[in-house]
Amino acid sequence: MINEKDSEEHPLPDDLRALDEELSSIRYEERPSFGPELQAELARAWTTGPPTAVAVRPYLAAAALAGLLLAGVAVPSARASLVRILRVFDDVEPVEAPIRAAEVAAVPAPVEEARDAAAFVMVSRAETPAEAVEPVETTATLQPPIPPRMLDRAGAEALLQEAYPRHLQEERVGGLVWLRVWVDVDGRPSLPNVWRGSGVQELDVAALDVAPLLRFEPAVQSGQAVATWIEFPVLFDPEEEGDLPVIEPLTLDPMRLPIVHPRDQWEFDEPLDLATLPDWSGEAPSVLTPVESALVDAIGDPIVRRSLGPIESILSGIVPNGRAPTEWRASATAVLEGAMERAQANPAPLLALGRIRLRQGLRTDARMLFERGLRIAIDADPAVPPSVVAELHYERGRLTREGWLASADVGRVQSSAFEGRACAQARSSGQGVSGYASVERLIAWNYLCPQESSRVFERGFEAKNDDMADLSLTMGSFRAALDLVPGHVGSNVGLLVQLAAAERWEELLAGARRFARHSQGHPHALVLAGLALQRLGRTGEAAPLFDEALERLPSAEAVEIRDLTYVIDASEIARYRRLWGAERRDWEASYWLTRDRTPGTAVNEREIEHMARTTYAMLRFGGVMSDPGEVWVRFGGPKDVHIVDDGAGQLTEFWDYGSGPDITFVRRVASQTMDLTPEGRAYVDDLGKIFPPQ
Amino acid sequence: MRVEHEVPRTGRVASPRKDESVLPREFEAWYVEHRSAVFRYVRFRVATREAAEDVTSVVFMKALRSFDRYDPRRAAPRTWLLRIARNAVTDHLRALRRRGSLHVSLDRIPDLVADVPSQDERVIKQERIQRLLNGSQKLRKADQEILSLRYGTGLSNAEIAEHLDISNNAVAVRLHRALKRLKSCVEAMAADPIEDR
Find chain A residues with C-beta within 8 A of B132's C-beta: 22-23, 26
Total count of residues recorded for chain A: 694
Inform me whether the pLDDT recorded for A432 exceeds 70: no
Number of domain units in chain B:
2
Q: Does the bond joining B24 to the residue before it have cis omega, within 30 degrees of 0?
A: no
Q: Domain ends where: B69, B102, B135?
A: B102
Give the Cα separation of A80 and A418 in Å (integer).
50
Burial of A562 (0-12, 13-18, 19+ CB in 10 A): buried
Helix (H, G, I), strand (E, B) or coil at A207: helix
Interface of B with A in 102-161 (CB under 8 A): 105-108, 111-115, 120, 123-124, 128-130, 132, 147, 150-152, 156-157
Using the predicted structure, report yes or no on whether residue A275 has a pLDDT greater than 90: no
Encode pLDDT of A72-112 as tens digits.
Answer: 222 222 333 455 554 433 333 333 332 222 222 222 333 33
B2-15 pLDDT, tens digit per residue, is 333 333 333 333 34
* One-letter amino acid for residue A71 of the chain: A
Please give the CATH superfamily to which domain A54-237 belongs. Answer: TonB (3.30.2420.10)
> Considering the domain boundaries, does residue B36 fall inside one?
yes
**End-of-domain residue from the set B54, B86, B102:** B102
Residue B27 lies in a domain: yes
Three-class SS string for chain B? CCCCCCCCCCCCCCCCCCCCCCCCHHHHHHHHHHHHHHHHHHHHHCCCHHHHHHHHHHHHHHHHHCHHHCCCCCCCHHHHHHHHHHHHHHHHHHHHHHHCCCCCCHHHCCCEEECCCCHHHHHHHHHHHHHHHHHHHCCCHHHHHHHHHHHHHCCCHHHHHHHHCCCHHHHHHHHHHHHHHHHHHHHHHHHCHHHHC
Q: Looking at the domain assignment, is residue B6 inside a domain?
A: no
List A residues 299-358 in contact with B (Cβ-Cβ < 8 A).
324-327
B119 and B196, same domain (yes or no) = yes
Nearest-CA distance from B81 to chain A in Å? Answer: 12
Whether residue B71 sits in one domain with residue B23: yes
CA distance, residue B180 to nearest chain A CA (Å) = 7
Nearest-CA residue of chain A relative to B177?
Answer: A16
Q: Is A115 in contact with B7 (Cβ distance < 8 A)?
A: yes
> How sure is the predictor about A528, in pLDDT bands with cuts at 50, 70 and 90?
very high
Whether the pLDDT of residue A274 is over 80: the answer is no
Dist CA A311 CA A234 (whole Å): 37
Question: Is residue A62 scored above 50 in pLDDT?
Answer: no
Q: What is the pLDDT of residue B101?
A: 46
Which residues span the domain enclosing B126? Answer: 109-197
Nearest-CB residue to B53 (from A25, A118, A326): A326
Is residue B9 within 8 Å of residue B69, measured between CB atoms? yes
Higher pLDDT, A78 or A596: A596
Helix (H) or strand (E) holding A654: strand A650-656
CA separation for the pair A297, A292 (Å, rounded): 9
Does residue A531 register a pLDDT over 90? yes
Q: Specify if B127 maps to a domain.
A: yes
In this prediction, residue A92 carries a pLDDT of: 32
Question: Quick check: B180 and A16 CB within 8 A?
Answer: yes
pLDDT band at A356 (very low <50, low <70, confident <90, very high): very high
Is position B7 within any domain? no
CA angle A318, A321, A322 (to 5 degrees): 130
Residue A183 in this model has a pLDDT that exceeds 90: no
For A383, other C-beta atoms within 10 Å of its C-beta total 10
Distance, CA of A572 to CA of A565 (rounded, Å): 9
| Residue A471 pLDDT exceeds 60 | yes
Whether residue A350 is predicted with pLDDT greater than 90 in this model: the reply is yes
- Minimum-distance CB partner of A30 among B39, B132, B169: B39
B117 and B183 share a domain?
yes
pLDDT of A671 reads 63
Q: Write the CB contacts of A326 (distance below 8 Å, at least 6 apart in sequence).
A: A37, A38, A41, B53, B54, B57
Amino acid at position A549, single letter: A
- pLDDT tens-digit map of B47-106: 777 788 888 988 998 888 888 778 877 788 888 899 889 888 888 877 766 554 444 443
Residues B129 and B89 placed together within one structural domain of the fold: no
When pLDDT is averaged across residues A57-65 and rounded to a whole number, the result is 33
Is the confidence at residue A532, as pLDDT, over 90?
Answer: yes
Residue A431 has pLDDT above 80, yes or no: no
Q: What is the mean pLDDT of residues A244-251?
A: 28
Question: Is the reported ipTM for this assembly greater than 0.90?
Answer: no
pLDDT of residue A268: 42
Among A241-245, A353-357, A523-527, B100-104, where is mean pLDDT lowest?
A241-245
Same domain assignment for residues B115 and B144: yes
Judgement on whether residues B61 and B133 belong to the same structural domain of the protein: no
> Do B135 and B191 sit in the same domain of this protein?
yes
B 20-39 residues with CB < 8 A to A: 20-24, 27-28, 31, 35-36, 39
The dihedral of CA B103, B106, B108, B112: what is its sign? positive
A177: left (phi over 0), alpha (psi -120 to 50) or beta: beta
The CATH number of residue B146's host domain is: 1.10.10.10
Q: What is the mean pLDDT of residues A325-336?
A: 88
SS3 A665: strand
